[in-house]
């Protein structure tokens, strides 16, 4: 990246981290994934503010891990649409180390119809998704959360707790982030910027510390 392009990229990053999303804005957030301290892949989240109440997300993930006896490949393609902070559409395709899943979710009366590899069921309407790309509706943050796993369509439960506002260095710039901790089947630490969009995520995967961190914002 040339010096001028790098400066433009950093200015875009600062604008997004500290600013407000406007109608029809599109941004792509590029994340690096590290497993056990080694580079393991990339996540790309393209977010479009379609109107004042509707936001769509496209997520593309490719991960390859080789740590001693641990050899692992993961590929994910997903689309989410949210209206008034409620999920109105989910479509995803996942290859989890040769285990393949096709997942969809759409609103029906009093809930969401979820289809996983052709099998259907109904879940509560206020589901958060495991992309964690944005914070859930404030009214849901203090209680038990239903989390729809975007990878394989399973239901998870967790509790989200605010930890602190912290300074972190993102793409060479120090920014203030809100740190949350999700507890349940697993513990996941999540950091969000001033627009309540994901910037950093940490968790343990098969005994290895796994980090997903924002490295660039493209607009």
Contact indicator for 79, 88 with CB cutoff of 8 Å: no
Q: What is the mean pLDDT of the chain?
A: 90
pLDDT at residue 56, as a whole number: 97
pLDDT at residue 24, as a whole number: 57
Distance separating alpha carbons of residues 59 and 134, to the nearest angstrom: 13
pLDDT grade for 1, boundaries at 50, 70 and 90? very low
pLDDT at residue 123, as a whole number: 95
Average the pLDDT over 126-154 and give the result. 96
* DSSP state at residue 137: P
The domain of 137 spans: 3-218
Number of domains observed in the structure of the chain: 1
Residue 215, helix vs strand vs coil = strand
Q: Is 150 exposed, middle or buried, given 0-12, 13-18 or 19+ CB atoms closer than 10 A?
A: buried
Which residues neighbour 10 within 8 Å (Cβ) at sequence distance 6 or greater? 171, 172, 173
How much is the pTM?
0.88
Token pair belonging to 174: 């120090």
């Amino acid at each position: 990246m040339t010096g001028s392009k790098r400066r433009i990229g950093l200015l875009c990053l600062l604008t997004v981290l500290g600013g407000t999303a406007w109608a029809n804005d599109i941004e792509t957030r590029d994340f690096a994934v590290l497993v056990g301290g080694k580079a393991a892949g990339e996540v790309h989240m393209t977010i479009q503010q379609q109107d004042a109440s509707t936001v769509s997300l496209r997520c593309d993930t490719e991960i390859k891990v080789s740590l001693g006896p641990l050899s692992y490949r993961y590929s994910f393609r997903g689309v989410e649409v949210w209206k008034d902070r409620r999920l109105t559409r989910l479509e995803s395709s996942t290859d989890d180390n040769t285990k393949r899943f096709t997942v969809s979710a759409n609103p029906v009366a009093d809930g969401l119809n979820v289809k996983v590899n052709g099998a259907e069921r109904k879940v509560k309407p206020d589901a958060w998704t495991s992309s964690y790309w944005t914070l859930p509706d404030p009214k849901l943050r203090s209680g038990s959360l239903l989390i729809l796993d975007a990878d394989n369509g399973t239901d998870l439960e967790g509790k989200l707790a605010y930890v602190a506002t912290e300074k972190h260095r993102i793409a060479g710039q120090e920014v203030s982030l809100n740190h949350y901790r999700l507890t349940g089947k697993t513990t996941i630490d999540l950091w969000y910027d001033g627009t309540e969009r994901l910037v950093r995520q940490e968790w343990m995967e098969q005994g290895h510390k796994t980090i997903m961190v924002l490295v660039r914002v493209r607009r």
